[in-house]
Amino acid sequence: MAELQLKSHRFRAEREDDWRRLERLLDRAERAGVRKLSPAELLEIPVLYRQALSSLSVARAISLDQSLVDYLEALCARAYFFVYGARSNAWTRVAGFFAREWPAAVRSLWRETLAAAAITALAAVVAFGLVARDPDWFYSFVPEVLAGGREPHATTEFLRGTLHGAQGQKGGLDVLATFLFTHNSQIALFAFAFGFAFCVLTVGLLAANGGTLGAFLAVFAQHGLTIPAVGWLMIHGVTELFAVTLAGAAGLSIGWAVAFPGARTRTDAVMHVGRRGAIVMAGVVVMLFCAALLEGFARQLVDADGARYAIAGATAVFWGSYFYLPRRKGGGR
């Protein structure tokens, strides 16, 4: 026992100065920031870290006292996170998400995005045609809670009034915005989550969303209100429909990975596309929040058709440029 204690004492005496030096440098970096260290000190930390790792390995191998092993383990863990850990703050990570990660994830899903948009558009055309021929089809596509009196048997005056903020709609815009944000978020989340069912449920949800759009437009078209109705819808619909389309695209990518994993195992394939889909969905929530504000406030407060089309066009240009314009390697690829 005396020999073991002597060995531990000599081991500590020979190396303790380096451990304390590493500890002091880490304390300064954690307390005052990395910029307070000189270039020479920054280069010294990895060297001292490797020496501490070597000391820890020896201490474990020759069974030195446990307190010394615990101290070296804690010191090495701190140094590891300093040398290899990410030192960016929360604002830097948020900026990186919006500047690089989200646009890159969306661009990588361009095939699925085109497929989701095509499904929505086709369903809208079919629903428009069916309602135009037989108005009773409207109730097969539009839930009563969303209709709000905008039905085939409504008068032209009533429908025109709903397009221009009449009938006291401005009083409860905050409530309307909250309801619409919740509703649209559920559609997007389900479109993503249902991808695990081999895309079938995702395709069905995208088609149902497109059918609702087509049925609404058919009702207004029958009353000669096509142009104001499109402006009324698109002032928020560009952002909302694009968000739901991206959510559906992420769901389709997961369903495709489940059905056709390729060289990967099915679990690995789903995990790979799932991580990308999670990035897309985090951004989709931001888009839906913007759409809810436009739908609950701007759409009701902006009555002029020209202004509504201008806002819709501006949002289309913004999202298209943000996601698909080429970026420099340092900023987006």
The answer to whether residue 188 is domain-embedded is yes
CA distances from 264 to 157, 183, 251, 257 (A): 59, 36, 19, 9
What per-residue confidence (pLDDT) applies to 66?
A: 81
pLDDT classification of 185: cutoffs 50, 70, 90: confident
The answer to whether residue 331 is domain-embedded is no
What per-residue confidence (pLDDT) applies to 330?
A: 47
Average pLDDT, stretch 236-246? Answer: 94
Q: Does 112 have pLDDT greater than 90?
A: yes
- For 67, the token pair is 């307190």
The answer to whether residue 108 is domain-embedded is yes
Final residue of a domain: which of 87, 118, 134? 87
In this predicted model, which residue has the larger pLDDT, 82 or 65?
Answer: 82
CA distances from 296 to 128, 177, 269 (A): 25, 4, 39
Please tell me the distance from the alpha carbon of residue 82 to that of residue 52, in angstroms, as a whole number: 14
- Within this chain, do residues 263 and 281 fall inside the same structural domain, yes or no? yes
The answer to whether residue 330 is domain-embedded is no
What per-residue confidence (pLDDT) applies to 4?
A: 53
- Within this chain, do residues 163 and 190 fall inside the same structural domain, yes or no? yes
Q: Does 319 have pLDDT greater than 70?
A: yes
- Within this chain, do residues 134 and 279 fall inside the same structural domain, yes or no? yes
Count of domains forming the chain: 2
Q: Does 127 have pLDDT greater than 90?
A: yes
- Within this chain, do residues 77 and 96 fall inside the same structural domain, yes or no? no
The answer to whether residue 77 is domain-embedded is yes
- Within this chain, do residues 75 and 109 fall inside the same structural domain, yes or no? no
Residue 23: partners with Cβ closer than 8 Å, 6 or more residues away = 75
Amino acid at position 215, single letter: A
- Within this chain, do residues 33 and 163 fall inside the same structural domain, yes or no? no
What per-residue confidence (pLDDT) applies to 93?
A: 80
Q: Does 284 have pLDDT greater than 50?
A: yes
Final residue of a domain: which of 87, 122, 155? 87
Please tell me the distance from the alpha carbon of residue 113 to that of residue 246, in angstroms, as a whole number: 6
pTM to 2 decimal places = 0.73
- Within this chain, do residues 62 and 161 fall inside the same structural domain, yes or no? no
In this predicted model, which residue has the larger pLDDT, 156 or 162?
Answer: 156
- Within this chain, do residues 320 and 221 fall inside the same structural domain, yes or no? yes
* Boundaries of domain holding 247: 92-324
The answer to whether residue 329 is domain-embedded is no
Amino acid at position 304, single letter: A
- Within this chain, do residues 172 and 187 fall inside the same structural domain, yes or no? yes
Instruction: Work out the angle at residue 252's Cα, subtended by the Cα atoms of residues 250 and 253, and round it to the nearest 5 degrees.
Output: 65
| 222 φ/ψ sector (left φ>0, alpha ψ -120 to 50, else beta) | alpha
Average pLDDT, stretch 45-69? Answer: 86
- Within this chain, do residues 154 and 247 fall inside the same structural domain, yes or no? yes
Residue 175: partners with Cβ closer than 8 Å, 6 or more residues away = none
Least confident of 133-137, 169-173, 253-257, 285-289: 169-173
Q: Cα 67 from chain centroid?
A: 46
DSSP state letters, 48-75: HHHHHHHHHHHHHHTT--HHHHHHHHHH
CB 162 within 8 A of CB 225: no
- Within this chain, do residues 77 and 104 fall inside the same structural domain, yes or no? no
The answer to whether residue 29 is domain-embedded is yes
Please tell me the distance from the alpha carbon of residue 239 to that of residue 287, in angstroms, as a whole number: 6
What per-residue confidence (pLDDT) applies to 208?
A: 93
The answer to whether residue 333 is domain-embedded is no
- Within this chain, do residues 149 and 69 fall inside the same structural domain, yes or no? no
| 265 φ/ψ sector (left φ>0, alpha ψ -120 to 50, else beta) | beta
Final residue of a domain: which of 37, 52, 87? 87
Sign of CA dihedral 151, 153, 154, 160: positive
